[in-house]
Homo-oligomer: A and B are copies of this chain.
Amino acid sequence: VSFTCTGFRFAGVASGIKAKKALDLGLLVSDLPAHGAAVFTRNRVVAAPVTVSRKRLAKTGGLVRGIVVNSGNANACTGANGAIDAKAMADRAAEAVDIRPQEMLVASTGVIGVPLPMDHVNSGIEAAAPLLRAGHFDQFARAILTTDRSAKIARRQRELGGSKITLLGCTKGAGMIAPNMATTLSFVVTDAKVNADDLHGALAAASDATYNAMTVDGDTSTNDMILLIANGAAKNRPMGKKTLEQFRETLTELLSELAVALMREAEGVHHVVSVNVVGAKTKASANTIAHCIANSPLVKTAIAGCDPNWGRVLAAAGRAGVPLTAEKLSLRIGDVLVAANGAAVDAAEWESTAQAVMQAAEYAITLDLGLGSERACVLACDLSHEYVSINADYRS
């Protein structure tokens, strides 16, 4: 597989922000005028690069040609100087690749509360610009990592509006927040021709179905961002409702692949579990209960221990603040029915099979509320000794 997308070039260099000459500065540029859409962290404490990128997107009405990203320093909680540094970083990158400053965005990830080392940032940008190549997406994807074990890249192609279009994306984030290192970042480029409003609609829907439907520890970062840039190099016909729907589907598939890859590599994770809540009166209530189960430390430690401790799942559902009827609850681990009508099924019928399901790296649990026909799914994971080690045994 070649990680390319027509009309985009990439670079990743070691600028010295991170120790040990690790890649830590990435550049991504469209050779053609392009539209961009982004979703940002909902945290109220927002890092400087998020503020700068959000402002530029609003100002240009969604014209975006590129982004410069560093890892090793989040430029978060850095006060007024942080805002100046984020803007200077984006402007320097725009100058180096000769595009208008307002069309260059910026993202950072890493340690919180430490001023960005601008000398490294500047020399990194100068080194990266001449290295921009269509085939350097892998270097870019590696330059955005913090405690991740490896780069996470996905690519999709599809016939659409008379052309073959390509979507190419990468992500990072070894927990919602890694040890003192913040952030989930995702960058997706496409050669599809999509207008700015449609692009934003597609990204919002696709991220709700993927990145907003998973949780490692419930913690969100100051720097989270998903950016999607479309440059129209595929020359497809203008998108109608049906074509746009297909574009959204393909984008959702791509983000889903990246999200699952992110969960698999999250801190200390051995099991990625789809928490399905079905039989709900409303989609919102199903979603609230699914998140409550997925974030419960007792459910997550039971997942870690491969322990079919279904009472914890029911208890977590019960504290979600949503009306439910205990006597109507039933729970399956994989396909194995472990509780029905709010009470245990005879353990002899399910204990060993449910334990076997829970050994798997990926499986599903399904809670039926017995109240209606709405449903929701959230990706969850275990809370393991490694999670505690990574986040507690570390000294900042």
The answer to whether A383 has its CB under 8 Å from any CB of chain B is yes
User: Which A251-285 residues have a C-beta within 8 angstroms of B?
Assistant: none
Identify the stretch in A190-198, A213-221, A372-380 within 8 Å (CB) of chain B at 4 or more residues: A213-221
Q: State whether A113 and B305 are in contact (beta carbons under 8 Å apart), knowing that A219-B296, A326-B44, A385-B389 are contacts in the complex.
A: no
Contact status B388-A392, CB under 8 Å: no
Contact status B43-A388, CB under 8 Å: no
The answer to whether A209 has its CB under 8 Å from any CB of chain B is no
Tell me how many chains of this kind the complex includes: 2
Partner pick for A391 among B114, B221, B297, B320, CB 8 A cutoff: B297
Which B residues are CB-close (under 8 A) to A222? Answer: 311, 314-315, 318
Q: How many residues of A contact B (CB 8 A)?
A: 70
Where chain A touches its partner, the secondary structure class is: loop
Contact status B305-A392, CB under 8 Å: yes
Contact status A219-B298, CB under 8 Å: yes
The answer to whether A310 has its CB under 8 Å from any CB of chain B is yes
Partner pick for A114 among B317, B344, B387, CB 8 A cutoff: B344
What 4 additional pairs, Cβ within 8 angstroms, besides A44-B317, A45-B317?
A218-B295, A304-B392, A305-B391, A307-B395
Across the A-B interface, give the 3 residue pairs with the lowest CB-CB distance, nearest first.
A112-B311, A45-B318, A79-B343
Please name 26 pairs of A and B residues whose Cβ atoms are closer than 8 Å in the assembled complex, sorted by A.
Answer: A43-B319, A44-B318, A44-B322, A46-B318, A77-B311, A77-B342, A79-B341, A82-B343, A112-B312, A113-B310, A180-B309, A180-B311, A219-B312, A220-B315, A220-B318, A297-B383, A298-B391, A301-B387, A305-B393, A307-B395, A308-B396, A382-B392, A383-B392, A385-B385, A385-B389, A385-B392
